């Protein structure tokens, strides 16, 4: 009986961890590439992507209040 209760408690902790991961998915999405076109130079595209990624990270930090 004690073993069964211990395994159920472990399962509940695992399910709670899965639920936490699910809710973070609502905050943390995958970064997307900024708009671009074929006339852009490589340096311009790199700079836009770096800025976009930095802003994406800042939005995550603000959403989970890490900073």
pLDDT at res. 63 = 79
pLDDT at res. 38 = 95
Provide mean pLDDT across the span 29-56.
92
Per-residue model confidence as pLDDT tens digits over 11-32: 455 545 555 555 555 667 778 8
Domain ranges across the chain: 1-28, 31-67
> What single string gives the DSSP state of each residue in 1-67?
-HHHHHHHHHHHHHHHHHHHHHHHHHH-PPP-PPP--TTS-HHHHHHHHHHHHHHHHHHHHHHHT--
Q: pLDDT at residue 46 above 70? A: yes
pLDDT at res. 40 = 95
pLDDT at res. 1 = 60
pLDDT at res. 64 = 78
């Amino acid at each position: 009986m004690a073993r069964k209760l211990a395994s159920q408690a472990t399962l509940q902790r695992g399910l709670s961890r899965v639920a936490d991961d699910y809710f973070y998915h609502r905050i943390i999405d995958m970064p997307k590439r900024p708009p671009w076109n074929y006339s852009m130079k490589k340096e311009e595209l790199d700079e836009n992507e770096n800025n976009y990624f930095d802003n994406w990270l800042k939005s995550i930090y603000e959403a989970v209040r890490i900073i």
